[in-house]
Amino acid sequence: MNKTNKFSPEVRERAVRLVQEHRGEYPSLWSAVESIAPKIGCVPQTLLEWVKRAEIDAGARPGMTTAEMQRIKELERENKELRRANEILKTASAFFAQAELDRKLKS
């Protein structure tokens, strides 16, 4: 699944900042998000996700930060590459071992 970001990081930051600044003027976080989202040009659920992500990254809400998720993604990618290389080496080792046995039998 390839996600394209319709909104620039600057727009996201501005939208989150608006929600955080005006949060006290509304009875709930959701009502603040519903009021501000149309001004930004996004759906309220998207803006709410941005706000939650910003709170997690700031340490105000429990969860994995963006940096932690990125690091895990990189480690998983590296792990996958290493497993693939290991399989190639195992196959090559078996091939050369068989070739060595065949060579000894012919001698």
Residue 3: give its domain's CATH number: 1.10.10.10
Q: Which residues contact 7 (CB under 8 A, 6 or more apart)?
A: 15, 40, 41, 42
Tokens of 105: 């039998």
68 and 58 in a common domain: no
Largest CA distance in the chain: 90
80 and 55 in a common domain: no
51 and 19 in a common domain: yes
d(CA 5, CA 53): 15
Q: What pLDDT score was predicted for residue 6?
A: 85
For 70, the domain range is: 64-106
Q: What pLDDT score was predicted for residue 99?
A: 85
Q: What pLDDT score was predicted for residue 4?
A: 62
**pLDDT tens digits, one per residue of 27-55:** 999 999 999 999 999 999 999 999 999 99
57 and 20 in a common domain: yes
68 and 56 in a common domain: no
Domain count, the chain: 2
